[in-house]
Amino acid sequence: MKAYDQQSRLLVAVDCIIFGFKEGKLNLLLIRRDFEPRRGEWSLMGGFLKEDESLDDAAARVLKELTGLTEVYLEQFRAFGEVNRDEAERTVSVGYYALVEQPVVDKQLSRDYAAHWVSVDDIPPLVFDHREMVAAALRRLRHRATHEPVGFELLPEKFTITQLQALYEGIFGTSIDAGNFRRRLRKMDYLERLAEKDTSGSRKGAWYYQFKSERYAAAKSEGSDFLLKP
Amino acid sequence: MKAYDQQSRLLVAVDCIIFGFKEGKLNLLLIRRDFEPRRGEWSLMGGFLKEDESLDDAAARVLKELTGLTEVYLEQFRAFGEVNRDEAERTVSVGYYALVEQPVVDKQLSRDYAAHWVSVDDIPPLVFDHREMVAAALRRLRHRATHEPVGFELLPEKFTITQLQALYEGIFGTSIDAGNFRRRLRKMDYLERLAEKDTSGSRKGAWYYQFKSERYAAAKSEGSDFLLKP
DNA sequence: ACAAAAGTGTTTTTCTTACACCCATGA
DNA sequence: TCATGGGTGTAAGAAAAACACTTTTGT
């Protein structure tokens, strides 16, 4: 059984699947590897776990190094441990997915990392098992987005219902009935309609809304379930 | 960024939360640690990842060492990576939960490991962060059991509706309307009623049923969703 | 014949779905 | 005034919940 001596220590990494949303498309932030092996190929943003940091801390650090962002939604979804998944050395990697506001990231992105957004339905070949990691992250995101109000993390603080609908259509790759979608949202009293309109998309203008997390927490603790599916 | 040299290698473990079901109770298989630190205290069954095995393989190996079982339902649910979670040495642990037929395990259980079943609503103090791991596993089990037909893994191949209801009541700690529960099951044509009855529980006798995984796969691929909640 | 588990039916209410419709406004 | 996205209403039907009811059989 378990005994501490004589056990093999090995590398533990975290890899981040960074999701963004822009112009109706769900996107993924990739980098080109700047070290061997497979220098120059497309890869997820990752890094090795340090002695003095937790997995969550490591993921947040890695994300900060690439995007400069610190207050992002970040959730572990799965550990990947096939023996030969990293060809250089045995490495166990823990996958995290992040939800960021793409326009905000675009401003902060340092050019050095050669980071680029790609649409989730047009992903280039990736190193190692990163493709599989993306697929798993996407499944998890779809699931989370229907059962928890995490989609909002991909939108600016103020957003319109139409934007939210486009987001969900982007996440699921389907189209949604606008009337029914709105009605479901109307019942969520943790969505506050602001006294302000977005006039960029139409003549009439669309009301801005805001997600109130405190109110959601209250609603949840009283047993109400979030559910928003295509 | 990532670079392979000069990185700290560390211990990676897997820990198994083993669920069983008996007499209306959802149970957990625990052992007493037989090595330092915390020898003799209650713990989950775990082991270190070896150089030449995947995480899934390691979990299966650990499970086999304790229960002798090989064909069990086993699913990773989360990695635990707090810096001081294991007081002896920095260890990242990947949590798996297993669903086993308790009566079968009882027969095979080697006395050496000092393994014992405890009810999930009466868990003794556990070492390290094992309590938290159990809580996370239980949340995952509840979720999976409502959306996928995994509950059957805890029952014998042939089971009655009443047993299945008791199982779900045990998993969720609630009571369920028998009429409505049965009706939902009647619609699942991947549940086959056998020509045999269980007469141990009543005069009348209850039909045995069997879960047909091939038929379920077919139904699923045609878009039908499993849903069974309290 | 009756107790007790197994199993069925029926009514009520609630939620989805599909889709028709109205609104506001800049060009 | 009309095209366009924004937003509301509603009728039909499906599904969930509550609960009364029947069936079977050993004692």
B225 interfaces chain A, CB cutoff of 8 Å:
no
pLDDT at A109 (0 to 100)? 76
Q: Are A47 and A128 in contact (CB under 8 A)?
A: no
**A106-123 in b/e burial notation, b at 16+ Cβ within 10 A?**
eeebeeebebebeebeeb
Tokens for A210, please give them.
């805001």
pLDDT at B5: 84
Tell me, yes or no, whether B71 and B182 share the same domain. no
Cα separations in angstroms, A186 against A154, B66, B79, B82: 20, 53, 37, 40
In a domain, A230, yes or no: no
Segment B192-220, tens digit of pLDDT: 999 999 999 899 999 999 999 999 999 88
Question: Which of helix, strand or coil describes residue A191?
Answer: strand
Does residue A160 share a domain with residue A123? no
User: Could you give the CA distance from residue B165 to residue A102 in angstroms, rounded to a whole number?
Assistant: 47
pLDDT at A34: 85
Strand nucleotide closest to residue B206 (CA to C1'): C6
Is residue A58 one of the residues assigned to a domain?
yes
Residue A21 backbone dihedrals phi, psi, to 5 degrees: -140, 130
Host H or E run for residue B170: helix B161-172
Nearest to B182, CA basis, from B146, B151, B228, B216: B228
Last residue in a domain, options B145, B176, B210: B145
pLDDT score, position A1: 54
**Is A229 within a domain?**
no
Q: Report the length, in residues, of chain A.
A: 230
Q: Which residue ranges of chain A lie beneath pLDDT 70?
A: 1-2, 110-113
Q: What is the CATH number of the domain that holds A106?
A: 3.90.79.10
Predicted pLDDT of residue B52? 96
CA–CA min distance B98, chain A (Å): 17
Q: Which amino acid is at A46?
A: G
> Is A88 within the bounds of a domain?
yes
What pLDDT does B163 receive?
97
Is residue B150 included in any domain, yes or no?
no
| Cα torsion through B149, B154, B159, B160, rounded to 10 | -80
Q: Is residue A228 part of a domain?
A: no
**Enclosing domain of residue A167:** 155-221
Q: In what order do the strands lie in the sheet with B158-159?
A: B158-159, B206-211, B191-198
Pair (B6, B100) in one structural domain: yes
CB A90 within 8 A of CB A82: no
CB A24 within 8 A of CB A166: yes
Instruction: Retrieve residue B24's tokens.
Output: 């209306």
Our CA angle for A188, A194, A200, nearest 5°, is 110
If DSSP codes are grouped into helix, strand and coil, which group holds residue B25?
strand
Assess whether A39 (CB) lies less than 7 A from strand D: no
Note the pLDDT of residue A224.
82
B177 touches strand D (CB under 7 A): yes
* B30/B85 same-domain check: yes
> What pLDDT score does B6 carry?
87
Q: Any idea what the CATH number is for the domain that residue A203 is in?
A: 1.10.10.10
pLDDT for B1: 55
Tokens of A195: 């006294």
Q: Does A82 touch chain B (CB under 8 A)?
A: yes
Please indicate, yes or no, whether residues B81 and B191 belong to a single structural domain of this protein. Answer: no
CA distance B203 to A14: 58
Where does a domain end: B99, B116, B145? B145
B52-109 confidence digits (pLDDT tens): 999 999 999 999 988 888 999 999 999 999 999 999 999 999 999 999 999 999 888 7
pLDDT at B161: 97
Beta bridge partners of B13: B48, B93
Tell me if B229 is assigned to some domain: no
Question: Do residue A32 and residue A111 come from a single domain?
Answer: yes
Q: What tokens does A137 get?
A: 């992250």
* Chain C, protein-covered positions (CB within 7 A): 3-10, 16-20, 23-26
User: Distance (Å, rounded) from C-alpha A152 to C-alpha A154?
Assistant: 5
Of B13, B52, B92, the CB nearest to A83: B52
Instruction: Kindly state whether residues B28 and B104 are assigned to the same domain.
Output: yes
- Report yes or no: B136 and B78 within 8 Å, Cβ to Cβ: yes
Q: Most distant CA pair in chain B: distance in Å?
A: 71
Domain boundary among B121, B145, B169: B145
Q: Is the distance from CB of A76 to CB of A59 less than 8 angstroms? A: yes
Structure confidence at residue B224 (pLDDT): 81
Same domain assignment for residues B114 and B52: yes
* Same domain membership, residue B114 and residue B65: yes
Count of the separate structural domains present in chain B: 2
For residues A104 and A162, membership in a common domain is answered with: no
Angle (CA) B16 A16 B44, round 5°: 10
Strand, helix or coil for residue B7: coil
Task: End-to-end CA distance of chain A: give it in Å, rounded.
Answer: 48
Nearest to B51 among A8, A35, A65 (CB): A8
Q: What is the pLDDT of residues B152-190, one digit of tens each?
A: 999 999 999 999 999 999 999 999 999 999 999 999 999
**Å from the B163 CA to the D24 C1':** 19
Asked if the C-beta of A60 comes within 8 angstroms of chain B's C-beta atoms, the answer is no
- CB contacts of A229 in chain B (<8 Å) are none
B6 close to A (CB below 8 A): no
Is B226 among the domain residues? no
Question: In terms of domains, do A140 and A159 share one?
Answer: no
Strand C closer than 7 Å to the CB of B200? no
Report the distance separating Cα B20 and Cα A201, nearest Å.
56
Whether residue B128 is predicted with pLDDT greater than 60 in this model: the reply is yes
What pLDDT shows up at residue A110? 64
Residue A103: name the closest of A29, A192, A161 by CA. A29
Residues A11 and A98 in one domain: yes
